């Protein structure tokens, strides 16, 4: 895909994988937190 | 001596059952659209595809600010009314804020290394963000250490109110000290946006803003509902302990 300004993209493309790493961290962090919450809720409901 | 909160956990309001999942699904859909738009946006002329980190990084910082403000407001409400309900919301909000601020620091480092040439710098914005993270981790640790619910709520409320001073300092740090970190990605007051040259990324930014704000409300409600159950269990355990103590024959008491 062409850059929006029409200017040539520099060698910053060698860092493209960092974008995926950041979104991966987001999935792990928030997914992990949601799993923790669901487990906690299940645990509490079982002891109720 | 352990005190009881003297407050039964209130019954959830009508609509609570359906509203939380609706918020959850709504935010998940909006965030998904935001992510798709982010990945469809063309690369920036200088940063390349790294500009795709900006929407999620800036929005997580915004929600972290919001969550710390909410925790301060609820803590203040607790100190005034002494209703445990406020303490539970404040706790839930800090927990979400800590995760968001951790993500802000991590995503910022991954953006900073290729663009600034360093993972970390003791710059004003970065340092105040790290301080905020440390202070709120301290808040959670203090809560974990105190067994008495009333003492725990009171101490945590004072910490949350004092710690919230860090939020405006953190926001203004880029204007006051002018170190490495650039000014906000979007500013209504100054009428500028760093994403202005990339309309699709700008749209993604606002869709993420909406999705993540609704997601915060969803998480807050969900976490507060769990905290409500935890408080009810704590109360039950305490009552059982008291009953056991009362039924025990008193020893060593002179008649």
CA distance B96 to B241: 32
On whether any CB of chain B is under 8 Å from the CB of A45, the answer is: yes
Q: What is the pTM of this model?
A: 0.86
Q: What is the pLDDT of residues B24-76, one digit of tens each?
A: 999 999 999 999 999 999 988 778 889 999 999 999 999 999 999 999 999 99
State what percent of residues in chain B have pLDDT above 70.
89
Whether residue A18 contacts residue B111, with contact meaning beta carbons closer than 8 Å, is answered with yes
Output the DSSP codes for B67-106: HHHHHHHHHHHHHHH--HHHHHHHHHHHHHHHHHHHHHHH
Distance from CA of A27 to the nearest CA of B (A): 10
Above 80 in pLDDT, residue B10? no
Contact B226 A41 (CB under 8 A): yes
CA distance B76 to B86: 9
Contact B53 A10 (CB under 8 A): no
Q: Which residues of A touch B103 (CB under 8 A)?
A: 25-26, 29-30
CA distance B173 to B211: 27
CA distance A36 to B38: 28
| Pick among B114, B133, B199, B236 to test the A interface (most A CBs inside 10 A) | B114
DSSP secondary structure code for residue B48 in this structure:
B
Query: What is residue B8's predicted lDDT score, i.e. its pLDDT?
Result: 53
ipTM computed for the complex: 0.84
- Side-chain half-sphere CA neighbours of B215 within 13 A: 26
């Amino acid at each position: 895909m062409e850059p929006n300004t029409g200017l040539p993209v520099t060698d910053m493309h060698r860092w493209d994988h960092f974008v995926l790493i950041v979104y991966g961290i987001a999935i792990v962090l928030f997914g992990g937190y949601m799993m923790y919450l669901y487990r906690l809720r299940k645990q509490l409901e079982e002891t109720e | 001596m352990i005190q009881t909160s003297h407050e039964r956990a209130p019954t959830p309001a009508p609509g609570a059952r359906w509203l939380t999942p609706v918020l959850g699904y709504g935010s998940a859909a909006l965030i998904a659209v935001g992510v798709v738009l982010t990945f469809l946006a063309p690369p920036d002329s200088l940063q390349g595809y790294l500009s795709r980190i900006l929407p999620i990084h800036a929005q997580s910082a915004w929600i972290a600010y919001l969550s710390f403000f909410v925790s301060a407001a609820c803590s203040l409400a607790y100190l005034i009314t002494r209703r445990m309900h406020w303490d539970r919301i404040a706790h839930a909000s800090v927990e979400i804020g800590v995760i968001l601020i951790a993500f802000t620091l991590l995503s910022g480092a991954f953006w900073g290394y290729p663009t600034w040439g360093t993972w970390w710098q003791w710059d004003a914005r970065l340092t105040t963000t790290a301080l905020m993270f440390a202070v709120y981790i301290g808040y959670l640790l203090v809560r974990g250490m105190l067994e008495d619910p009333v003492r725990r709520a009171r101490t945590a409320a004072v910490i949350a109110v004092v710690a919230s001073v860090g939020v405006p300092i953190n926001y203004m740090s880029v204007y006051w000290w002018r170190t490495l970190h650039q000014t906000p990605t979007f500013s209504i007051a100054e009428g500028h946006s760093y994403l202005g040259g990339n309309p699709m990324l700008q749209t993604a930014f606002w869709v993420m803003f909406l999705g993540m704000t609704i997601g915060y409300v969803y998480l807050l409600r969900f976490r507060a509902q769990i905290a409500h159950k935890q408080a009810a269990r704590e109360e039950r355990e305490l009552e059982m302990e008291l009953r056991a103590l009362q039924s025990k024959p008193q020893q060593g008491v002179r008649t």
